[in-house]
Structure formats: C-alpha cells, structure tokens
C-alpha cells in the first residue's frame, strides 16, 4: 500500500480484509469513546455545572448520551469547530465546566488557534475531549486520522494532555479532570481496546503507571499502544529478554520520575504511540532524557507520513504498531 499506481485496475492486489485485531482482551474491551459517553453521563448526574458541546458528531463521540439525559446542558453548534471552542470558552467564563468534543483531527487542527488564543492563553477551564484519534479510525482514511494532535496540544502552555489506555482509565480520567482547574486535552479512540488497567487502578494527572520495570529495556507507551506493548513484553519474556512497560497516560506534564527510573533500570527506552514519532510521546521522552539522563531511545509510531484507508488491524501492521514491531525494535537495539 502507499503506492496506488501498483493497484490501479487490479483490485486483486488490495490487501485482504482481515478480522479485527483490536477487539478487546481477555477481560473484554470497549472503545475509550464509549467509556467517555458513560463517564460524562455519570458526571452530569453528579454535577450540574457540567455542560457539553459537540460539532455535529455527538453520535460518534458518544456525547449524545449526555445530550439525551440533559438536553438543557448540551449545545450542538453544528459543523463549526472554531465556534465550538469559543462557545465552550464563554461557558467556562460563567463558571460552567464545559466538555467540548469532536474528532481529534478537527478539534486540535481546525480549531488549534482558537485553543491557543482563547483556552490556553486565558487558561480557561475547558475540557477538550476528542475521539477518533490515530490511524485506528480506519476506513475513513488520512483526512480523519489525527496523528499529530498530541504534538499540537503538547506545545501549548497551560495545557494538560492525557491519553487513556482503556475504558477503565478513561472513566477515571474524566472524573479527575472535572476536579482539576485548567485546560485539558483528552485523546480517545474509535476502536475497541482491551482492558489493561487493574480494577482498583486510581488515575492521577501526571502520574504514570508502571506494569513492570525491565532490566533489558523499558517501553513507555500511551493510549492503545499500552496493550500492544504488554503483548510485546510477554513475547520478549519467553525469549529471555526482560522488558518493562509503563503506561504514560499523561504526556503533559510528563512523569519525569517514572522516565528516569526506567532509564536507570535498563538503558534502553522504547516509546510507543499511535501518533507521529515527531512531537508526541516519543518527542517528550527524548527531550527529557537528552537533558537529564541520556540513554538510547527508539520511537515506535507513525514515521512522519500520513495514514490511509484500511481496517484498523491492517493499518496497525502497515505502520509498524504491532507487538512484533516492538519486539523486533528491542531485539535489534540489544543486538539479540
């Protein structure tokens, strides 16, 4: 794929339509957007200052659940993302707690300057919760696959950036950011993801969760790449390589202590994100380690290119985001 000429007039050469890889783990997975819809509904029951705004995608972002329960606290602004951010900002200025949702590519791209000038610069209490991030958007193709949103949000002063790994963490994140004053970007996905976080997990903004600290390598992952990394860890273990996995759900502020500990333990760090290798989690980790504890870092992510149409499973393979890709990267770096 990526070379359309090859396929012209010969549909037999198109990749086979495989069954989905990302359909839930042993404990049954949900898409983080579905968990968001439920969390928002619960939050709306608890707090009457919660208001929700959407830009004609409430069925997909799952804010529709809140809209149905609390129509007087829901605003659909139509297909107008810039106005979405402005209206959410205005509501926050009257003491409301606005959640503004649409697809990640439109929220952070189309309305980036509104977020910069109004939300971030005035440090407003606006929660930007975007869905359909990354290439697992799938068939809609590159126009709808946000692969630069972490970078776009991370560069803004006052902004907190969170990418939950599963449904459990998504619910915790929504509760946590409701109790925190300031702009927050939460990055959610369309596809189902396996449950990876423990039942008794408690999310704290800025604190990573370490599943295991490895002596040979440590994988710092975020979002859906946490479950992929855990699978890689198991494969490596069978081959006698001790790799650790850290869920860095808050990319900004980065959990510096967790990164240092991992770097001290192994000397090889691998970052894993369903995002460009430029400016996202990999960028954040490299920036921090280069200044504070230089070690070898390998970045797993989309290698400075656009996505394309396909099944999420096919795209994860095409762009090198599978457990096998992580295993190969670590083994190569360790010369094993």
| DSSP per-residue string spanning 129-147 | EEBSBSGGG-TT-GGG-BS
Q: Which residue from 121, 47, 58, 123 is spatially nearest to 84, judged by alpha carbons?
A: 58
Strand-pairing partners, residue 101, are 54
- Which of 22, 41, 52, 85 forms a contact with another protein (CB under 8 A)? 85
Asked if 136 and 316 count as a contact pair (C-beta separation under 8 A), the reply is: yes
Q: Which residue from 165, 244, 225 is spatially nearest to 198, judged by alpha carbons?
A: 165
Stretch 272-291 residues interacting with another protein (CB under 8 A): none
Q: Which stretch binds another protein (CB under 8 A): 87-95, 177-185, 210-218, 296-304?
A: 87-95
- 75 lines the binding site for another protein (CB under 8 A): yes
Element (H, E) at 98: strand 97-101
Nearest-approach distance from CB 292 to another protein, in angstroms: 30
- 209 lines the binding site for another protein (CB under 8 A): no
Q: How many residues bind another protein (CB under 8 A)?
A: 30
In the bound state with another protein, the residue whose beta carbon lies nearer, of 5 and 72, is 72
Q: How many angstroms separate the CA atoms of 50 and 57, rounded?
A: 19
- 246 lines the binding site for another protein (CB under 8 A): no
Q: How many residues does the chain have?
A: 336
**Residues 100, 102, 108, 114: is their CA dihedral positive or negative?**
negative
In the bound state with another protein, the residue whose beta carbon lies nearer, of 60 and 80, is 80
In the bound state with another protein, the residue whose beta carbon lies nearer, of 78 and 294, is 78
In the bound state with another protein, the residue whose beta carbon lies nearer, of 114 and 276, is 114
Q: Which residue has the tokens 């440590």?
A: 218
Asked if 64 and 37 count as a contact pair (C-beta separation under 8 A), the reply is: yes
| DSSP per-residue string spanning 306-323 | ---SS-HHHHHHHTT-SH
Q: Which stretch binds another protein (CB under 8 A): 91-99, 149-157, 204-212, 285-293?
A: 91-99
- 92 lines the binding site for another protein (CB under 8 A): yes
Nearest-approach distance from CB 101 to another protein, in angstroms: 15
Question: x/- site string to another protein, residues 106 to 145, per CB under 8 A?
Answer: -------xx--xx--xxxx---------------------
Active site (annotated) includes residue 81: yes
Angle at 53 between CA 136 and CA 165, to 5 degrees: 35
Nearest-approach distance from CB 66 to another protein, in angstroms: 15
In the bound state with another protein, the residue whose beta carbon lies nearer, of 72 and 200, is 72
Q: How many angstroms separate the CA atoms of 170 and 37, rounded?
A: 10
- 77 lines the binding site for another protein (CB under 8 A): yes
- 90 lines the binding site for another protein (CB under 8 A): yes
- 231 lines the binding site for another protein (CB under 8 A): no
Q: How many angstroms separate the CA atoms of 219 and 235, rounded?
A: 13
Q: How many angstroms separate the CA atoms of 99 and 92, rounded?
A: 10
In the bound state with another protein, the residue whose beta carbon lies nearer, of 124 and 186, is 124
Q: How many angstroms separate the CA atoms of 17 and 14, rounded?
A: 9
Nearest-approach distance from CB 149 to another protein, in angstroms: 20
Residue 5: how many other CB atoms lie within 10 Å? 6
- 47 lines the binding site for another protein (CB under 8 A): no
- 72 lines the binding site for another protein (CB under 8 A): yes
Nearest-approach distance from CB 85 to another protein, in angstroms: 7
Q: Which residue has the tokens 């049954």?
A: 28
Catalytic residue among 38, 81, 291, 324: 81
Q: Which residues are catalytic?
A: 81
Residues at the interface with another protein (CB under 8 A): 51, 72-73, 75, 77-78, 80, 82-83, 85-96, 98, 113-114, 117-118, 121-124
């Amino acid at each position: 794929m990526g070379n359309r000429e090859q396929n012209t007039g010969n549909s037999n050469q198109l990749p086979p339509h495989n069954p989905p890889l990302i359909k839930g783990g042993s404990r049954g997975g949900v898409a983080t957007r579905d968990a968001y819809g439920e969390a928002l509904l619960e939050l709306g029951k608890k707090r009457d200052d919660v208001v929700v705004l959407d830009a004609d995608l409430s069925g997909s972002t799952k804010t529709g659940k809140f809209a149905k329960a609390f129509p007087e606290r829901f605003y659909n602004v139509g297909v107008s993302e810039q106005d979405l951010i402005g209206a959410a900002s205005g509501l926050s200025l009257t003491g409301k707690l606005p959640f503004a949702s649409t697809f990640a590519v439109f929220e952070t791209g189309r309305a980036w300057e509104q977020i910069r000038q109004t939300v971030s610069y005035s440090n407003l209490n606006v929660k930007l919760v975007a869905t359909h991030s990354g290439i697992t958007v799938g068939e809609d193709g590159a126009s709808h696959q946000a692969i630069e949103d972490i970078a776009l949000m991370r560069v803004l002063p006052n902004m907190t950036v969170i990418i939950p790994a599963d449904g459990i963490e998504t619910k915790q994140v929504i509760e946590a950011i409701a109790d925190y004053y300031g702009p927050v970007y939460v990055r959610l996905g369309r596809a189902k993801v396996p449950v990876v976080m423990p039942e008794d997990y408690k999310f704290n903004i800025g604190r990573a969760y370490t599943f295991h600290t490895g002596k040979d390598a440590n994988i710092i992952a975020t979002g859906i790449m946490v479950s992929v990394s855990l699978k890689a860890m198991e494969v490596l273990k069978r081959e006698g390589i001790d790799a650790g996995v850290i869920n860095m759900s808050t990319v900004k502020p980065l959990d510096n202590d967790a990164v240092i500990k991992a770097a001290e333990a192994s000397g090889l760090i691998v970052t894993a994100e369903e995002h460009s290798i430029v400016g996202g989690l990999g960028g954040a980790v490299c920036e921090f380690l280069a200044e504070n504890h230089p070690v070898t870092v390998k970045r797993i992510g989309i290698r400075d290119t656009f996505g394309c149409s396909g099944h999420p499973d096919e795209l994860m393979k095409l762009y090198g985001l599978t457990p096998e890709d992580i295993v190969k990267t670590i083994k190569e770096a360790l010369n094993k």
